[in-house]
Amino acid sequence: MNTALRHSRERGNPGIKSNPWIPASAGMTSQARSRLVVVDIIAYVVLAFSIGLATAVSLAGVVLLLAQEAQAAEFVPMQPAQAQQGTLLLKAKGETLAVPAVATDAEIRVSGIVARAVVKQTYRNPYDAWFEGIYVFPLPENAAVDHLRMKIGERVIEGDIKERQAARAQYEQAKSSGQRAALVEQERPNMFTTSVANIPPHGEITVEIEYQQTLRFDAQGYSLRFPMVVGPRYIPGTPTEGRGHGWAPNTDQVPDAAHITPPVLHPDQHAPSNPVRLKVVLDAGVPLARVDSTYHPITQRETEGGGRIVELAAGEVPANKDFELKWTPVASHAPSAALFTEQSGDKHYALLMVMPPAKEVAAARLPREVIFVIDTSGSMSGSSIAQAKEALALAVSRLDERDSFNVIEFNSYAKALYPDARPASVAHRNNAVSWVRRLQAQGGTEMALALNLALNGRENPGRVRQVIFLTDGAVGNEDGLFKLIQDKLGDSRLFTVGIGSAPNSHFMMKAAQSGRGTFIYIGKIEEVKEKMGALFTKLESPVLKGIEIAWPDGSHAETWPQRVPDLYLGEPIVVSAALDKLEGDLRITGLRGEVHERPWQATLPLDEARTGRGMGVLWARAKIASLVDSLRDGAKEDEVREAVVNVALVHHLVSKYTSLIAVDKTPVRPVDATLKSGAVPTNLPEGWEFEKVFGELPQGATDSRWNLLVGFLALLLAGGLFRTSRRTPIAFGRG
């Protein structure tokens, strides 16, 4: 500004010479003049400093008092008295990672809508000491684990099913007396722990686990998921007594936290561990249009019967993300109904699948209120949050002007974009999308806060209220959350969108079930459009509800689940039943339509049933799931435990209350040799950020001093330059 002023004067008034200071300075002593120079420079600096300071203070004021970014969003304070104190806890340093390595080899045989898998875990001990290996690993959320075999060289020891405590006691006994033993316990329906005692120095023990599951399928086709890693879970609550091999202490909300938090390798410091080999033998029973793996490159070859054999192209992959195989039958062979039965003693176990036809005519629809909930916790950081944001932005922009919506984000705290749902006008939608784009993933996963904000327990006549919940489900307090959803649902519906490479499938499925909605997975950004499109089609189509299944008289059917959940477009009815006889016709009825309900019904002759293997196990698994669910409806734990144990022991199933155990009779470890123990560390799921999950030390410095110094020096320089530029001509003038 000084310069500009000066220039204009140069041009405008070239003749002005009179300056009061020039004659004065001309008469000065040289000492006085140099002092003047110094004063001048100081003055420059002081002025510049004051300008700088004034600017800074006023800027700070402006920033504080006006918007730093035009923020149309209003934040809703969360409910009071919910200050959170969850724990993202770490084990102190110095913990050795010297534990046996585990290699997994899985072979899954698919026949129709059922898969049976053999998972072989080989525990190798590369050390000179005797070791116990503890491995926490995931399985599909509906896996019925019914066999355990421990292999030592050529010998095979078949596992027994026992009540959990009894199995644990037997294992501890074997462990301390030097016998080799293997124990499989269920931590969550989709999370298990294998403990293997007395692995000899430089030796190995192989543990084989078998499970069976019904596959998930809808109008788009079938999918088989094989999870490989349990992502680190957020553990809410206050720490309580008791620690285990996990990185988190037990808390009041997650009493078994220490069991479900195996150590996690930092991907920057360790190569991926726990290699997995996988083979899927696919006998779909119908001609297949296509078979694809979503996240892993595969090789596939056709078998004689028209099936496929699928293997990982890489041969071996680190256990760091879910494997998903999808296949679609040729259009004309898409199944509409299937009934598989298996006889065991005088009981017939049946698995029934019926695909209701898609509704052709667009039904009149009610206005919708859609509440989006996005998980912005640390575990979402990385590729997950990118997928979630993309999915949410897409979903918001798809809303109709008649609909209303709101967005809630949560991590250690929860906050809503608007105090109440707003009409999905273009302005609101745009505002929401830009709000979502700015979200950052950090902190804890206090899901209860978000659910409390999203669900109000109210009835909403005249409109459909849908909550869409985008999360990786990386929490340890699932049961508490399911109860919360159930209690506060009202007539809302909750849909889960499992995000990322290793979502918690148990959470996705049960949260959706408790919320009377459905669930999908998005594991990579390329899937967002297709998956969200499919979800929206379901959301916009009326459900099939009030489904009743009438078995023929005299069959004395015991059906699980007892109440068939509402079905969304393209989803099948799947139930298991135990029957006395297989005769007569089965009738299924239901209601469809949102504004005007229309009845739907189907009939199926029982004698057309095909025989299938393991139907009894699937029935028992469905029964156990329903029994455990009843705990949330207030059933007594003792009664549920007894009922579950009865079913599980008969069908040889691992459950919350029963475990499989195999013990080698002969002790091998010398009495004087000590046994070391360690939890097998797991990989961080692909795309996750370690520091965001386990926290990082805060960055505690600003550049302010640097700025001040640099600024000061620059001002000094400016002062000097101005000074000399003024002095030079004066010197000339005098000369």
Partner 1 sequence: MKTLTSREDWPLGVECAWPATMHAAPAQAIVRDRTDPLAHRWQLWLASIALAFGVWQFGQGSYIQAKAWLAQVLIKQAWARTLDGKAQARPWPWADTWPVARITVPDRGIVRYVLAGANGRSIAFGPGHVFGTPLPGDAGNSVIGAHRDTHFAFLRELHPGEEIVVQKSAATIRRYRVEDSEIVDKRETRVMAQHGGEPRLTLITCYPFDALRAGGPLRYVVSAKAI
When binding is defined by CB under 8 A, the residue of 177, 223, 240, 300 that contacts partner 1 is 240
Question: What is the distance in angstroms between the CA of the first residue and the CA of the last residue of the chain?
Answer: 30
Residue 119 sits at φ, ψ, to 5 deg, of -110, 120
When binding is defined by CB under 8 A, the residue of 30, 81, 553, 674 that contacts partner 1 is 81
| Contact positions with partner 1 (CB under 8 A) in 246-265 | 249
Give the nearer residue to partner 1 in terms of CB position, either 80 or 634: 80
CB 65 within 8 A of CB 394: no
- Among 1-9, 286-294, 420-428, 529-537, the segment contacting partner 1 (CB under 8 A): 1-9
What's the rounded Cα separation, in Å, for the pair 685 and 148? 27
CB 343 within 8 A of CB 614: no
Give the nearer residue to partner 1 in terms of CB position, either 330 or 714: 714
Residue 97 binding partner 1, by CB under 8 A: no
| Contact positions with partner 1 (CB under 8 A) in 9-48 | 9-10, 13-14, 16-17, 19-24, 27-29, 32, 35-36, 39-40, 42-44, 46-48
Give the nearer residue to partner 1 in terms of CB position, either 49 or 536: 49
Residue 55: strand pairing partners? none
| Contact positions with partner 1 (CB under 8 A) in 559-578 | none
Give the nearer residue to partner 1 in terms of CB position, either 32 or 129: 32
- Count the neighbouring beta carbons within 10 Å of the beta carbon of residue 297: 9
What's the rounded Cα separation, in Å, for the pair 615 and 84? 45
- Sort strands 404-410 and 368-375 into parallel, antiparallel or unpaired: parallel
| Contact positions with partner 1 (CB under 8 A) in 58-77 | 59-61, 63-65, 67-69, 71, 75, 77
The residue whose two tokens read 């929401």 is 432
Give the nearer residue to partner 1 in terms of CB position, either 3 or 674: 3
The dihedral over CA atoms of 446, 450, 456, 459, expressed in degrees to the nearest 10, equals: -120
The two most distant CA atoms of the chain are separated, in Å, by 127
CB of 50 to partner 1, least distance (A): 10
When binding is defined by CB under 8 A, the residue of 176, 440, 603, 611 that contacts partner 1 is 440
Residue 321: strand pairing partners? none
When binding is defined by CB under 8 A, the residue of 198, 261, 383, 442 that contacts partner 1 is 442
CB 160 within 8 A of CB 664: no
Q: State CA 439 to chain mean position distance.
A: 17
When binding is defined by CB under 8 A, the residue of 287, 358, 608, 706 that contacts partner 1 is 706
| Contact positions with partner 1 (CB under 8 A) in 343-402 | 378
When binding is defined by CB under 8 A, the residue of 34, 57, 201, 457 that contacts partner 1 is 57
Residue 261: strand pairing partners? none
When binding is defined by CB under 8 A, the residue of 220, 603, 611, 707 that contacts partner 1 is 707
CB 186 within 8 A of CB 192: yes
Residue 89 binding partner 1, by CB under 8 A: yes
Give the nearer residue to partner 1 in terms of CB position, either 73 or 334: 73
| Contact positions with partner 1 (CB under 8 A) in 260-289 | none
Give the nearer residue to partner 1 in terms of CB position, either 23 or 461: 23
| Structure tokens belonging to residue 105 | 């080899």
When binding is defined by CB under 8 A, the residue of 91, 151, 277, 365 that contacts partner 1 is 91
Residue 92 binding partner 1, by CB under 8 A: yes
CB 372 within 8 A of CB 405: yes
> Distances in Å between the alpha carbon of 314 and those of 282, 297, 317?
19, 7, 7
CB of 72 to partner 1, least distance (A): 10
CB of 529 to partner 1, least distance (A): 30
What's the rounded Cα separation, in Å, for the pair 229 and 262? 10
When binding is defined by CB under 8 A, the residue of 105, 168, 187, 239 that contacts partner 1 is 239
Residue 87 binding partner 1, by CB under 8 A: yes
The 3-class SS string of 242-305 reads: CCCCCCCCCECCCCCHHHCCCCECCCCCCCCCCEEEEEEEEECCCCEEEEEECCCCEEEEECCC
Residue 426 binding partner 1, by CB under 8 A: no
CB of 684 to partner 1, least distance (A): 14
| Contact positions with partner 1 (CB under 8 A) in 671-700 | 694-700
CB of 491 to partner 1, least distance (A): 28
CB of 47 to partner 1, least distance (A): 7
CB of 59 to partner 1, least distance (A): 5
Beta strands in 551-674 (DSSP E): 558-560, 573-579, 585-592, 598-605, 610-611, 658-667
Site size toward partner 1 (CB under 8 A) is 115
Dihedral sign, CA of 494, 495, 500, 504? Answer: positive
The three-state secondary structure class of 686 is coil
When binding is defined by CB under 8 A, the residue of 123, 131, 211, 234 that contacts partner 1 is 234
| Contact positions with partner 1 (CB under 8 A) in 158-197 | none
CB of 380 to partner 1, least distance (A): 13
